[in-house]
Structure 1
Amino acid sequence: MIKLRRSIIICLTFVIAISLLLTGCQDGTKDSQPDTSGQTGTITVTDCIGRQVEIPDQVDRIACLYAFSGHVVAMLGKADQIVSVVDGLKRDVLLNSLYPGIKEANIPVTSGSINIEELIKAQPDLAFIKGETARSEGEVAKLNKANIPYLVVDFNNMREQQYAVTMIGQAIGAETEARKYNEFYQACIDRVEKKVSSIPSSQRVRVYHSVNEATRTDMKDTLPADWLQAAGVNNVSVNQPLKLIEEKHFASLEQILLWNPDVILVNEYGVGDYIMTNEQWATLSAVQNHRVYQMPIGISRWGHPGSLETPLAILWTAQLLYPDKFTELDLADEAKGFYAEFFNLQLSDEEIDQVLKAQGMRKAKGNK
């Protein structure tokens, strides 16, 4: 009896010991694993100037210190994550009506200079800056000192602009949406080039493109020079000596008078009226023949060096200048389809007409 009791005690002791050992192992395993709740990893993104930048793999707060980046972020479905913008982004009427939260974003940039204290207040996970900012040692030093990761958005032709969209999509987790846009972009280029490629150089329309100010224009190796070539025009300012002021190119009025373009395209609303009514421009063929055209304004100013709607600008310009080659092209339908597909925005005929005529689509400086 005593032996049986001793055997039972030994068995119970063994079972308890094993149980304690297993429990200890389980607790030890739990303690050895790091707590990853709330933590995120990183990804490496190559920006437009070749910098390989490590950024959070989940970006929730975005500073768009270049208007183009704000347009792209919105198009890719992340407008609600924008916390800082440049002044110009708040002047785009259609964009702000679609994404009213942009009106609440702070503006930490004045005349190209970053107010780093204001930017820090917004607590961005990531900042997009333009090439001009990246070429300023002082501006870059501010960002580095504040330890804010940034990606440079810079492009001088259509291919580079498409890469910029790809890069932004990768950075904010919207690669599929970025790829769809670039496929549309390339399709527009292909459609137009197929029809205009047979036009001899001597028969191509000679165009002067006014960017913002009346005498600001296109130099070679710039986005407008590239897309206008795709549209089949002879751009009169390309390869000409221009004055460089703060990374912008300007012609003199005397040069423009000598070029005497057939057509003038303007990006900034009101500049066309200025050219048509100013006596200094009156001798130009484009003015005398009433061929000064305001380019459309939608989310951005079509055809502008920082425009998201470059593919639409190519279609619009090609049809304007070579209508016989694009009889099947309905710009209103094209624009409607673009905004529906990429912004989930259903515009009425009246609203599309406003976009194509650039009426009320962009506020004047200082009027936000």
Structure 2
Amino acid sequence: MFRIRHLATCIACAVALLSQPASAEIMREVVYYGDRSVSLPPEIDRIATNWEAQNSILTMLGYGDRIVATTRIARSMPLMQKFVPSIKAAALTTLGDGTVNVEELMVLKPDILFSSRALPDAVSRQLRGAGIAVASFRSNSIDALVERVLITGEMLGPDALEVARRYQGYFDDNRRRVAERLEGIPPDRRVRVYLASGAPLSTSGRPSLNQDWMDLGGAINIAESWFGDMPYASGIASLENIIAGNPDVIISMNAEDAEEIRTNPQWRNVKAVREGRVYANPRGLFWWCRETSEGALQFLWLASTLYPDALADIDMREETRRFYRKFYRIELTDNEIAEFLKPTY
């Protein structure tokens, strides 16, 4: 009798499954950081993000053309527009005050929203209730960046995960290559650096993503201990402290800030300005010094800039060409590579 009832139950279950609409999908769950998870369809077709740098990662993983909502900054980046033309038609994920545009996302119905921070619980519930997965990530360190690439790849699917794993191997190899070439340079011969991150007096200390790539590139960050009690170890420096720190080299995230530092008389007594060693940070689809997968080139470029003799065998033009060919499937021209390495805007 039990076997008959069991057979009847199995038949009923099978009938129920067959009666489901053809469009019903078997969702997959991705668990990350041990205590977070997202429920996703088998195929990710529509993507939203409120994190500028995430657009570059998505493009590297082969999903740039599936971005349906992004930020104003990402949408306006000239090279993002060139290599991902569809980004120009993407809606804005956030409102003017920086909050997520829930109404727009409900209309667009992306499969997933990649967020730079945890959203308010009410917003997350509303989006998830509409079938939009929400993934937020750790940030502000090199390790968190590489981990985010891998997690994003897993969420997007096997094809993206394969690229993410190759990227991790490439990143680790660049770490090794730089470390091997710098290991003979003692601390007292390391180059002292000041980073202008978004404005001439805006900078970062430890712990931060910026500190991490300066460590990897062999730099001594003169602001390392300035903002230990500030969020993200970042803040506004005083010009007096910068002058007292007297950096050998200044790296500016923006070309216009680099020009301001070079030409402003208040900076003229800083060693880096006197000796003509003020550099605009490279920028591709996004700034290499930020939370982008292009950061795999950032510390390689920095080490090559600070210690050209130790890295004489590293040609940053060819490194740039190979990286974008291998991971972004982009063939850069010589002029484009020159603009990446020495941006003029």
TM-score (norm 2): 0.88
Aligned equivalent of 1:314, options 273, 284, 299: 299
1:117 alignment partner in structure 2: 103
Distance 1:120 1:216 in 2: 37
The question of whether the paired residues in 2 share the 8 Å contact of 1:47 and 1:153 is answered with no
Which of 111, 114, 126 does residue 112 from structure 2 map onto? 126
Partner of 1:8: none
Q: 1:159 aligns with which of 133, 136, 143?
A: 143
Equivalent in the alignment of 1:337 = 322
Which of the numbers 89, 112, 122 marks the counterpart of 1:141? 122
Deviation per CA, 1:273-301: give whole Å up to 9, x if none: 01111122222111111111111111111
CA contact (8 A) 2:205 2:233 kept: no
Q: CA deviation at 1:30?
A: 7.3
Equivalence for 1:264 = 250
Larger radius of gyration: 1
Q: Which residue of 1 aligns with 2:155?
A: 171
- Which AA in structure 2 matches 1:261? P
- Alignment length (residue pairs): 328
CA–CA separation in structure 2 for the residues paired with 1:202 and 1:275: 26
Residue matched to 2:50: 65
Q: Classify 1:192/1:245 alpha carbon distance in 2 versus 1 (closer, same or farther; 3 Å).
A: closer
Give, as a single letter, the amino acid of the residue that structure 1 aligns with 2:288. Answer: W
| Deviation beyond 3 Å, 4+ runs, structure 1 | 27-33, 46-50, 241-248
The 1:220–1:152 alpha-carbon spacing in structure 2 relative to 1, beyond 3 Å, is: same
Once the 2 structures are TM-superposed, how far is the Cα of residue 142 of structure 1 from its aligned partner? 1.8
Quote the Cα distance in structure 1 between the aligned partners of 2:284 and 2:153.
21
Q: Distance in 1 between matches of 2:35 and 2:240?
A: 40
Query: Aligned-pair distance for 1:248?
Result: 4.6
In 2, distance between residues paired with 1:112 and 1:49?
Answer: 28
- Correspondences of 1:1-368 after superposition (within 5 Å): 31-34=15-18, 35=20, 37-47=22-32, 50-109=35-94, 110-131=96-117, 134=118, 137=120, 140-147=121-128, 148-173=132-157, 174-241=160-227, 244=230, 248-304=234-290, 306-359=291-344
Q: Is the contact made by 2:146 and 2:293 (CA closer than 8 Å) also made in structure 1?
A: no
The equivalent of 1:16 in structure 2 is none
- RMSD, aligned α-carbons: 2.2
In structure 1, the gaps of 5 or more residues are 1-26, 361-368
Shift of 1:159: 1.7
- Deviation (angstroms), 1:32: 4.8
The SS at the match of 1:37 is coil
- How far apart are 1:209 and its partner, in Å? 1.0
Instruction: Quickly say closer, same or farther: Cα 1:211–1:307, change in 2 above 3 A.
Output: farther
Matched position secondary structure for 1:237: coil
Asked if the contact 2:49/2:93 (under 8 Å) is kept, the reply is: no
For residues 111 and 282 of structure 1, do their structure 2 counterparts lie closer, same or farther at Cα, with a shift above 3 Å needed?
farther
Which deviations, in whole Å up to 9, do the C-alpha atoms of 1:217-245 show, x marking residues without a partner?
11212111111101111011112247847
Q: Distance in 2 between matches of 1:260 and 1:49?
A: 44
Question: Deviation per CA, 1:12-47, whole angstroms, max 9, x where unpaired?
Answer: xxxxxxxxxxxxxxx989745433632222233234
d(CA) in 2 for partners of 1:253, 1:29: 73
Shift of 1:343: 1.3
Amino acid aligned to 1:172: L
Matched residue of 2:92: which SS?
coil
AA matched with 2:124: L
